[in-house]
Every structure is written in structure tokens, then in C-alpha cells.
Amino acid sequence: MGMTMTQKILAHAAGLEKVEAGQLIEAKLDLVLGNDITSPVAIKEMEKMKVDGVFDRDKIALVPDHFVPNKDIKSAEHCKCVREFAKRNEITNYFEVGEMGIEHALLPEKGLTVAGDVIIGADSHTCTYGALGAFSTGVGSTDMAAGMATGMAWFKVPSAIKFNLTGKPSKWVSGKDVILHIIGMIGVDGALYKSMEFVGDGIANLSMDDRFTIANMAIEAGGKNGIFPVDALAEQYMKEHSNRAYTIYEADEDAVYDAEYTIDLSALRPTVAFPHLPENTHTIDEIHKMEEIPIDQVVIGSCTNGRLDDLRIAAEILKGRHVKKGMRCIVIPATQAIYMQAMEEGLLKIFVEAGAVVSTPTCGPCLGGYMGILAEGERCVSTTNRNFVGRMGHVNSEIYLASPAVAAASAVTGKISCPCELA
């Protein structure tokens, strides 16, 4: 019986020749991640352990990104706690305001995540780095504390589901539509504690930004992690961003999967997740048959869709057009480097001229933090990853998850729309 990609990575990290689904292992960590919300809890837990510093100051990343620049006194205190811990322990990869970004866009950009790594982060969307062929997963703050102290973590080896992607997406269909389609198909618990392994010739037609988006939302299907094979595009990305050595693992031909699905990317349509679960999906064709759904706000950004491809798509749609009167449109580049590139390409000018506002990199509105909180009865089309009750504000507000293309078109029309509808 062979092993999946994820199982091979975990076996190597545990110093074992072979592992099986359900097996408990202790594995070496290549990176431990925390942000301004989760790190203070981990730091306090670590203090209780009475350990002498961290296991490796180069293998910890601390990224204040949820409430920064600080929105209030409490968030300022959280960031102060992280800042002082980083200074005290001489943490190499601490990213202050001005050099930071949304953690799951920043770390690959900085070359801190590469193929074959085992990464834990006290944030559920740590699964993003599977786009580069790494095993990465979210953990609680207590596990983060143990990881910072020891460089080790316990895992139950996950079983896997194989998603065979074929074909080429049509215009206006992106990685966000792919993962929303999958979540709509299998449900928010369809991959519970399983590895979602994406394979197939269709992957060649997905950009790295598409792959990051798909891996990012594996957790929305209940997945332990999402992972892609390492091809020439992934290797090119790692060589451009990192000077670290990486290891490519491939699934055995006789690897065991709990289920297998084949998805023809050419057949997919722009897809929107209606309130209040990511699995409540409808294609744009289905939406056209419904009554119009007027909206109050659009958010384009987050660790899911705040990358350069996302901003370029949104700008292509907004150029020469204007956000509908009475609408708010908030654009949030995911990192300072993305912000700078978007500025150099003239994308920010397009957004401002279209009547949108551009924010510094932050998670902000995604978790109902700031920079776009919803009032009672308001609706938002958002490129973020969750649309639970009260996720972005009032419990009686509504969030519709969509791609940057659908979000930008909706900002123009004031209702959920596809770019193909624009004159």
C-alpha cells in the first residue's frame, strides 16, 4: 500500500519509512506561524512552560495582520506583546507595519515556505502553503506554543481525497470558482480531517495565485490540508522567492484515497457562495434566474484573493467604469510588495477613479475586525473565505463569497453580477 504526498512528507518529518492514515506521529517542524490575535495566547502558554527561549529563531514567523495598523487599545496591546516577544527572542521573521502583509500571502512571497516543508500556524488558513507542495495546517495557540518551544508537533496522519482537475477554465473563472465548486459539491465537512490532494493536467492551466486560493480554502471543506504536486511553475515561483532547498514528494501509484473526483475546469462557471455557509453555492447562471440581489458593499482582498492576479482582474473590470452610487467598494492588497506593484501598474489609480477605497494590507473586514464592518440588514459580496452568521459584522447581515471578477462586476451594478453582463 503506497503513500499520498502528504503521508510521504509526514513520514520523512517523523523519521519513519512509512506512515498510514490514522497513525499518531511526532514530526519535526520547518516553520511555526502566529499572528497578532493568536500569538499572544501562545506566548502566555509558552511562559507557563518555563522553557529557555524558542527552538529556532529562524523557523518562527510572527505576522501582525488582523488588526493592524492597530484599530484600538486592545489590538495595540496584542501587537506590543508580540513585538516584545520577537525582540526578546531575536525572532528573524517578525514583520512590523510597513513590511508586513496578510500572513498567508506574505510567507510564500518572502520565501519562507517551500515544497516538502511541515508548517503549522495558529490560523486555520495556514493550509495555503500546500500550493507549493508543503504540508501546512492550522493549529491552536497551545500547539503553536509547543511548536515554538520544541520544534515538534503531534499529528494524526490524515487519509486523503483525490481531486483530478482537467481542462482549462474559461474567461472569468478562477481558482476561487474552482474551490467554491468543490465545497458546494462535497460540503463543509466533506473532507473532514483529510488531505485534499489536487492532481491532473488541468493544474497546468492554473496560476500560482489560483493554487494558493484553492489550497487556502481547503479548511472550508473541513480539510486538514490541501496540497498540489510541484510542477515547473511552482519550482519557478520558489526559485524566484526563496533561496531555501526544497524537496519534491509525489504520491505513489498505489496510494489509497477515501474518494476520487474528476472536475472539468472548462465546464465551471463563476460561482457564488450564499449565506451562511461556503457550501451554499450557486453558479452565475442560476443566479440570473433568481430575483436581483442588491448589495451594499464589496470587499476585494484577504489571504484568499488579495494577490496581484486578483487585483489585475478587478482593475480590468473597473477600468473606465464606476462603483454604483451608494455602494462601498474596498480593495485590500495582501502585502506591501503587491501594493507597490499594483501602484506601479496603475491599478490603484483605476480603483480610486472608479470610486473604490484602497487599504493598507490587513485581514480587517474578513473576520469582522475593521475596514468594512456590516450593519444590520446589509449585504456584501466578498472575496474572503467565510460567510458565517455575523462573520463581517451584524448577525443580520449577509456575505456572498465570490471571485474578484464577480466582486468587481457587482460593485459596478450594485447587485450580484458577472463581468459578462457589463456593456
Residue 175 Cα distances to 55, 202, 204, 263, angstroms: 36, 12, 12, 13
Q: Give the alpha-carbon dihedral of 324, 328, 329, 330, to 10 degrees.
A: 170
Strand-pair partners of 271: 283
Average pLDDT over residues 148-171: 97
What percent of the chain clears pLDDT 70, i.e. is strictly above it? 100
The percentage of the chain sitting over the pLDDT mark of 90, rounded to a whole number, equals 95
* Residue 315 binned pLDDT confidence (cut-offs 50, 70, 90): very high
In angstroms, rounded to a whole number, what is the distance separating the alpha carbons of residues 218 and 214?
7
Runs of H (alpha helix) within 173-280: 175-186, 208-216, 232-241
Provide the H-helix boundaries in 50-139.
73-88, 103-109
What is the model's pLDDT at position 37? Answer: 94
- In the chain, what are the domains? 5-264 (3.30.499.10), 272-421 (3.30.499.10)
Cell of 34: 502566529
pLDDT the model gives residue 51: 86
Q: According to the model, what pLDDT value does residue 376 have?
A: 96
Q: Is the pLDDT of residue 363 over 80?
A: yes
Q: What predicted TM-score, i.e. pTM, was given to this entire model? A: 0.95
> Which residue has cell 492532481?
199
Q: Report long-range pairs for 390-399 (Cβ below 8 Å, ≥24 apart).
A: 391/366, 391/367, 392/299, 392/365, 392/366, 392/367, 392/368, 393/368, 398/275, 398/276, 399/275, 399/276, 399/374
Q: How far apart are CA 383 and CA 378, in angstroms?
A: 16
- The residue-averaged pLDDT of 197-206 equals 97
Burial of 265 (C-beta count, 10 Å sphere; 0-12/13-18/19+): buried
Tell me whether strands 118-121 and 135-138 are parallel, antiparallel or unpaired.
parallel
pLDDT of residue 423: 65
Instruction: Give yes or no for a contact between 415 and 402, defined as CB atoms under 8 angstroms apart.
Output: no
Amino acid at 74: K
Average pLDDT, the chain: 96
Question: Before 69, cis peptide (omega within 30)?
Answer: yes
| Cβ partners under 8 Å of residue 61, min gap 6 | 31, 32, 33, 34, 93, 94, 95, 103, 107, 112
Cα–Cα distances in angstroms (integers) from residue 397 to residues 149, 278, 280, 357, 414, in the given order: 41, 15, 16, 21, 16
Cis ω before 276 (30° cut-off from 0): yes
Give the span between the Cα atoms of 273 and 13, in whole angstroms.
37
- Higher-scoring residue by pLDDT: 98, 347: 347
Pairwise CA distance, residues 45 & 51, whole Å: 10
Rg (CA), the chain: 21
**Residue 421 — very low, low, confident or very high, per pLDDT cuts 50/70/90?**
confident
Phi, psi of 25 (to 5 degrees): -135, 160
| Confidence (pLDDT) at 374 | 96
User: How far, in Å, CA of 49 to CA of 354, rounded?
Assistant: 53
Class of residue 269 by CB neighbours under 10 A (exposed 0-12, middle 13-18, buried 19+): middle
**Can you tell me the distance from the alpha carbon of 348 to that of 312, in angstroms, rounded to the nearest whole number?**
10
Q: What is the pLDDT of residue 50?
A: 83
Distance of alpha carbon 275 from alpha carbon 397, whole angstroms: 9
CA torsion sign for 295, 298, 304, 309 is: positive
Tens digit of each residue's pLDDT (9 = 90 or more) over 162-190: 999 999 999 999 999 999 999 999 999 99
For residue 139, the surrounding DSSP H or E stretch is none
Cα gap 193→222, rounded to integer Å: 6
Residue 282: is its pLDDT beyond 80?
yes
